[in-house]
């Protein structure tokens, strides 16, 4: 397996986290019939930000 540098690892990890958040938001948007405020509210409850 090829070793990657520290900066590349951080960049890949950051991209993966953004991707996961976008997918979660998309799921909540579909669940809430594309109501954006409700989707953000549900996502905040799940992530315990609210």
pLDDT digits (tens, 9 = 90+) for 1-50: 677 788 889 999 999 999 998 888 888 788 878 888 887 787 778 777 65
How far from chain centre, in Å, is Cα 36?
15
Rounded to whole angstroms, the maximal C-alpha distance in the chain is 44
Q: Among 18, 29, 30, 48, which Cα is nearest to 40's? A: 29
In this prediction, residue 28 carries a pLDDT of 79
Check residue 49 and give its pLDDT.
64
């Amino acid at each position: 397996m090829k070793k990657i540098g520290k900066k590349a690892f951080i960049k890949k990890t950051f991209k993966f986290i953004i991707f996961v958040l976008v997918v979660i938001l998309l799921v909540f948007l579909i669940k809430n019939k594309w109501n954006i405020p409700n989707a953000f509210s549900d996502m905040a409850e799940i992530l315990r930000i609210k």
